[in-house]
Chain A
Amino acid sequence: MAGTAAAGALAPAQDDRTARLPGAWRLGLLRGAMEIRMFFRLREQVVFTFAFPIVFLFLFASIFHDDMANTGSTASQYYVASMIAAGIMSTSFQSLGISIAIERDDKVLRRLRGTPMPPAAYFLGKIWLVLATGLLETAALLVFGSTVYDVDLPSDANGWLTLGWIFVLGITGCALLGIAISSVPKSGKSATSVVVLPFLVLQFISGVYILIDTVPGWMLTVGAFFPLKWMCQGLRGVFLPDAAAALEPAGSWEYGRIALVLAAWCVGGLVLCLLTFRWKNRNDG
């Protein structure tokens, strides 16, 4: 019949079909563009994502507006570093941890799994999304800090470079950690509680809210296992004068170790995602 003739003409060879499967990198870019578009179409989400660190910077800079003892620097200078780090973690770890759990519930992941899309393209798309939103959030914080609280921005290329690599390594590691934790909650409904509690705890023990030299030693030890403590520390190095390094537990900014820990989280986070990521809910047979 007609179908048979048409089929003969159109039938692709088996290996031809394999060769033409779109690659993970290109699909990752496409997914990233789509995720960003969807993100900005949700007004409410955009407003609250960007407002979060700015509101906290406002609160802390207003409460502790005194100069910091022995450092020749100000509280707003300290908290701008903290809030950039916390903002990076909230746009990556927190928002991915929650949104992916909801996507799993809403069968978005099942739909994707039913296509030949390589899983890496999904993860890459999420990383592009958080890079874009994290960058915008950081920029918003810097503009707000420098105009309202006279925060000094890095004065040389070196400072910006340090800010840059901490941002990229930190946000990638936290994003992978967020993708990994999204598999922990049983459903999208419980995702917020599961994700927010560890994030809040980490912020306290990593010296985001409380000055690092007043955080108990054992808390710092626990915090040192996670990326947030190191992001805060590296960013303080960018925004505080060198004298302030004396307040650090190690007495220095420890950039070598920061790079090592953050890079380790990027690799470890990726392995964790690949090993533990679930495309369907546990009760979904």
Chain B
Amino acid sequence: MSLSVSTGGGPGVHRSVDGSVAVRPFPAGAGGGTVGSMTDDVVKVRGLRKRYGEVNAVDGVDLGIRRGEVFGILGPNGAGKSTTVEILQGHRRRDGGEVTVLGQDPGTADRAWQARVGIVWQDESAAAELTVAETVGHFARYYPRPRDPAEVIDLVGLTGKAGSRTKALSGGQRRRLDVALGVIGGPELLLLDEPTTGFDPAARRQFWSLIRRLADEGTTIILTTHYLDEAEALADRLAVIAAGRVVAEGEPGSLAGRAQARATVHWAEPDGTARSEETDTPTRTVAELAGRFDGDIPGLRVTRPTLEDVYLRLIGSEDR
């Protein structure tokens, strides 16, 4: 395998058994710090701004993304996710703020830098008179250390369609080709803007394992998505963006105080009435119930706020 991966001599992010990552706070005000751990951020964004005419699409975003991390970006339509990702890739110019990606400013980066960054745009159009194999094989030639095209086609599950013209692919298949073109160069940083739109459930799972594999190989991945289960399954850390600002950042399990939030214990009374109780101490509640019911508690469930609950509260539309 010819994946190009560099750890830059610094420590990678180490996932612990439960999938969480040691959180290092964003080095605020550490401007150009020379301490190894500080410079290990693959992406550093401070006060990023972008206007389209009257629209403040990105309005002061700060991000710090570490090498080897899978970083999820959530947010409602029009929040500024794509704009942010496209600025990180160098496609769009920013109006303000500092951006460093793999040690360079994307606005002025060179070809060698471009080879280290892969992207899957939200709105791709790879349709042409070429076949899948021809397209992927051709793009591989642009890179100094590409991955094996056949392997990439297999990883995105297009082997059966390798000989088909791209214009004859279905929407989801074309999306998989986009993903193939994003990873063909063996990028150190992979930017994915809603990559799984149009994927069937099996393709989505296959995509998840591809992302996990790339992450294990050391690729840093930034992923925007509207699928909260996808964010929860893949991301080491998440940022929620609304109206061009980061409104929350953290691990999926503890985002915006989710881990500390009160639990709800649900059960059914002997007469069948459903009951529930919000509590800080669900274990004690369950123990009391166990004593009362003398045996199994009917319909017992203990829930905490889902990522979706937290997310909807963050973007201020839980009542909708």
* Residues in A lying within 8 Å of B, measured CB to CB: 1-4, 6-8, 10-12, 17-18, 20-22, 27, 30, 34, 37-38, 41-42, 106-108, 110-111, 113-118, 280, 285
Most B C-beta atoms less than 10 A away, residue of A1, A30, A107, A108: A1
| A3 lies within 8 A of B112 (CB) | no
- Set of chain B residues within 8 Å of A10, measured between Cβ atoms: 1-5
Q: How far, in angstroms, from A108 to B165 measured CA to CA in the complex?
A: 16
A22, B112: Cα distance in complex, Å: 10
Q: A7-B218, A37-B129, A285-B50 are in contact. List 4 more A-B contacts (CB 8 A).
A: A8-B7, A21-B111, A38-B129, A116-B112
> Taking CB as reference atom, which chain B residue is nearest A4?
B12
Q: Which residues of A contact B142 (CB under 8 A)?
A: 22, 27, 115-117
Contacts A21-B144, A27-B142, A114-B89 known; A37 to B130 CB distance under 8 Å?
yes
Whether A114 lies near B52 (C-beta < 8 A) is no
Cβ contact within 8 Å between A17 and B217: no
- Which of A18, A41, A111 has the largest number of chain B CB atoms within 10 A? A111
Known: A1-B14, A115-B185. A110 touches B217 (CB 8 A): no
Q: B119 within 8 Å of A by Cβ?
A: yes
In the complex, what residues of B have CB within 8 A of residue A280's CB? 91
Secondary structure type dominating chain A contacts = helix
Judged by a CB distance under 8 angstroms, whether B139 is at the interface is yes
B68 in contact (CB, < 8 A): yes
A6 and B5 within 8 A (CB)? yes
Contact B218 A4 (CB under 8 A): yes
Give Cα A69 to B1, complex, Å. Answer: 73
* A131 CB, nearest partner CB in chain B, Å: 20
Q: Is B275 an interface residue (CB 8 A)?
A: no
Name A11's contact: one of B5, B117, B141, B215 (CB within 8 Å). Answer: B5
Which 10 pairs of residues, A with B, have the shortest CB-CB distance? A20-B144, A41-B129, A116-B115, A7-B218, A7-B5, A116-B111, A3-B216, A11-B6, A115-B142, A116-B114
Query: Would B185 and A3 count as touching, CB distance under 8 A?
Result: no
Most buried by A among B1, B15, B114: B114
A155–chain B nearest beta-carbon distance, Å: 41
Q: Return chain B residues, CB-CB under 8 Å to A108.
A: 125, 128
CB pair B123–A1 under 8 Å, yes or no, is no
Q: Which residue of B lies closest to A121 (CB)?
A: B142
CA distance A2 to B116 in the complex (A): 21
* 78-93 of chain B: CB within 8 A of chain A: 83, 89, 91-93
B52 partner residues in chain A, CB cutoff 8 A: 285
B129 touches A3 (CB 8 A): no
| Residues of the A chain whose Cβ atoms lie less than 8 Å from the Cβ of B134 | 34, 37
Interface centre among A1, A18, A114, by most B CB within 10 Å? Answer: A114
Q: Enumerate chain B residues within 8 angstroms of A118, measured Cβ to Cβ.
A: 111
Q: Hey, which chain B residues are within 8 Å of A30, CB to CB?
A: 138, 141
| Cα separation A111 to B116 with both chains bound (whole Å) | 15
B residues near A42, Cβ cutoff 8 Å: 129
B56 CB, nearest partner CB in chain A, Å: 13
Contact A115 B217 (CB under 8 A): no
Contacts of B7 in A (CB 8 A): 4, 7-8, 11
Is B199 interfacial (CB-CB < 8 Å)?
no
Report how far A3 CA is from B111 CA in the complex, Å: 26
| Cα-based distance from A4 to B8 in the complex (angstroms) | 11
A104 smallest CB distance to B (angstroms) = 11
CB–CB B126/A111 < 8 A = yes
Interchain CA distance A245-B302 in the complex, whole Å: 97
Complex CA distance for A4 and B111, rounded to whole angstroms? 26
B121 within 8 A of A: yes
Task: Determine if B121 and A110 form an interchain contact, defined as CB atoms under 8 angstroms apart.
Answer: yes
Q: Which residues of A contact B12 (CB under 8 A)?
A: 1, 3-4, 7
